Amino acid sequence: MSASAVFVLDLKGKVLICRNYKGDVDMAEIDHFLPLLLQQEEEGLLSPAITRGNVHFLWIKHSNLYLVATTNKNSNAALVYAFLYKLVEVFTEYFKELEEESIQDNFVVVYELLDELMDFGFPQTTDSKILQEYITQEGNKLEVAKSKVPTTVTNAVSWRSEGIKYKKNEVFIDVIESINVLVNANGSVMSSDIVGSIKLKTMLSGMPELRLGLNDRVLFTLTGRDKGKSVAMEDVKFHQCVRLSRFENDRTISFIPPDGESELMSYRINTHVKPLIWIESVIERFSHSRVEIMVKAKGQFKKQSVANNVEIKVPVPSDADSPKFKTSTGHAKYVPEKNLVVWTIKSFPGGKEFLMRAHFGLPSVENDEKEAKPPITVKFEIPYFTVSGIQVRYMKIIEKSGYQALPWVRYITQSGDYQLRTNS
């Protein structure tokens, strides 16, 4: 159904660790993986699924590692990629960093995890918080009590253990909205959307029942409330703790939360957003002599708000030299290894406009090769504000012991995939 075997390789294609789950694909096939990948890359036909004979390699890359699954069946490819990314997530939570060294330093635990995460090609328990209850790095300190199966593993509530205790019961809610925009060289917005995420940091005792209320347009329509201040979410995705059929029925978001940090839900809003930081740029290229760049940045959001840590990255030709900058605020820096000018503005109030000029020399003998035209990209963060206007109306917390718990809400808007194409 999914993977016959899973491999972790270094960048040279050497197997660091592997696990054969089904035994129907020769483990030596993996030796062909990297040469095939390099060949595809050379031909410009790179693909996440590589075939050799009747063997298929489904792979992802993470830092200096390849994670590869092999199969000779019509596997569920979506499942395999989701599983490989899950592996990265679990290993990262176990070892902080997933890289060549951490695999080698922890190979015993890695084997144990591979044994528990998948059986005969079927993914099993992949929740690292639960796994940590019975697979620990200090194996030799394993006490008898700990070596029982946590009931959570097979419970319907497989993401939260029983008997959690906190002195002070609190839950922190972060509402984070990322703005994706794609602006054409002539300044028209080609596409824009908002991807929102609601993250929880749960510090609650026992098995609390939570209910989250948002100003959701569909809910407001259902209950006949004023739609004026509501937000229409195009698509919503939930953590597995949320009762999906309940949401489908009456839009109630009810759940027993996982302990600690988790992403409760994400949503997408399709409305046309005004790009919060608007960029106008003129990049003039005088062959054989110089490039002159003028970038104007404007904060198109409320005066009371401030965008923090704004970074505007402007592409420059790879053969440019001797940079000179002038900025009305902030600081510009040339990053030659990335062919970029990075203009940093620590604090950018709404409604303000700033200017940066850059001047580069060009060699008299020019590079003949055609260069890519990367877009200008912008990074920023605006606290206490959501573009969509989404609001947490309430978070009800009910636990059978009847304790009082406090929800805390924080709003942030930030840049997502924020690209502005340039003319030159």
Name which position in 11, 35, 105, 303 contacts other proteins (CB under 8 A): 105
CA atoms within 13 A on the CB side of 167: 0
**Neighbour-count burial of 144, counting CB atoms closer than 10 A to its CB (0-12 exposed, 13-18 middle, 19+ buried):** exposed
What angle is formed at CA 71 by the lines to CA 69 and CA 72, rounded to 5 degrees?
165
**Is residue 299 within 8 Å of 380, Cβ to Cβ?**
no
Asked if 207 is part of the footprint of other proteins (rule: CB under 8 A), the reply reads no
DSSP state of 86: H
Cβ-based nearer residue to other proteins, 54 or 221: 54
C-alpha–C-alpha distance, residues 30 and 9, integer Å: 9
Find the farthest-apart pair of alpha carbons in the chain and give their distance in angstroms, rounded.
78
Q: How many CB atoms lie within 10 A of CB 101?
A: 11
Cβ-based nearer residue to other proteins, 13 or 121: 121
C-alpha–C-alpha distance, residues 50 and 335, integer Å: 35
DSSP E strands in 328-405: the ranges are 331-335, 340-349, 353-361, 376-383, 392-398
In the complex, the smallest distance separating the C-beta of residue 142 from other proteins, rounded to whole angstroms, is 6
* Stretch near other proteins under the rule CB under 8 A, chosen from 111-119, 300-308, 382-390, 402-410: 111-119
**Binding mask of the shown chain, residues 363 to 402, with x at each position contacting other proteins by CB under 8 A:** -------xxxxxx---------------------------
Pair of tokens at residue 249 = 């029925």
Name which position in 45, 165, 286, 365 contacts other proteins (CB under 8 A): 45
DSSP helix/strand/coil, 3: coil
**Is residue 42 within 8 Å of 77, Cβ to Cβ?**
no
Asked if 260 is part of the footprint of other proteins (rule: CB under 8 A), the reply reads no
Cβ-based nearer residue to other proteins, 146 or 346: 146
Name which position in 31, 38, 64, 85 contacts other proteins (CB under 8 A): 85
Cβ-based nearer residue to other proteins, 232 or 355: 232
Name which position in 32, 73, 199, 379 contacts other proteins (CB under 8 A): 73
* Stretch near other proteins under the rule CB under 8 A, chosen from 151-159, 208-216, 322-330, 384-392: 151-159
In the complex, the smallest distance separating the C-beta of residue 116 from other proteins, rounded to whole angstroms, is 9
C-alpha–C-alpha distance, residues 391 and 385, integer Å: 10
Asked if 142 is part of the footprint of other proteins (rule: CB under 8 A), the reply reads yes
C-alpha–C-alpha distance, residues 346 and 331, integer Å: 9
Asked if 215 is part of the footprint of other proteins (rule: CB under 8 A), the reply reads no
Name which position in 20, 254, 329, 386 contacts other proteins (CB under 8 A): 20
Pair of tokens at residue 292 = 């002159």
Name which position in 12, 42, 44, 286 contacts other proteins (CB under 8 A): 44
Name which position in 10, 123, 129, 292 contacts other proteins (CB under 8 A): 123
Asked if 240 is part of the footprint of other proteins (rule: CB under 8 A), the reply reads yes
Asked if 335 is part of the footprint of other proteins (rule: CB under 8 A), the reply reads no
